[in-house]
Amino acid sequence: MRMSDAQAPAQPVLEPAAAEFAAATANPPYLFDLPPAEGRKAVDEVQSGEIDKPAVDEEWITVPGGPTGGRWTVGRSRSR
């Protein structure tokens, strides 16, 4: 294939919120360029919004193992 035959890479199709996030983080400073405290703050801010969560039935169980066992949650989506 010749260079003149090459096609431009396809542009990804993103939901509006994802496109906004991608645009907002496209330029420096990148997360890995920030000092740890600033990086943590940036991640906390990005993850602080409210989101829709599906209704679930949850049950906490303790699984035997090790000195104290392990505590796990079992969640099942509710039927609509």
6 falls within a domain: no
Written as six digits, the tokens of 53 are 């969560």
Selection from 50, 45, 54 nearest residue 21 by Cα: 45
Q: What dihedral angle (degrees, nearest 10) is formed by the CA atoms of 23, 29, 32, 35?
A: -140
Q: Is residue 59 part of a domain?
A: yes
Range of the domain at 46: 12-77
In a domain, 32, yes or no: yes
Domain contains 50: yes
Q: How many domains does the structure of the chain reveal? A: 1
Q: Judge whether 2 lies within some domain.
A: no
* Confidence at residue 3, expressed as pLDDT on a 0 to 100 scale: 65
Residue 1 counted as domain residue: no
Instruction: State the pLDDT at residue 75.
Output: 84
Q: By the 8 A CB rule, do 30 and 43 touch? A: no
pLDDT of residue 80: 59
Decide if 5 is inside a domain.
no
Backbone conformation region of residue 58, classed left if phi is above 0, alpha if psi is from -120 to 50, else beta: beta
Q: Mean pLDDT for each 10-residue chunk of the chain (80 residues)? A: 76 92 92 96 92 87 85 81
Q: Amino acid identity, residue 46?
A: V
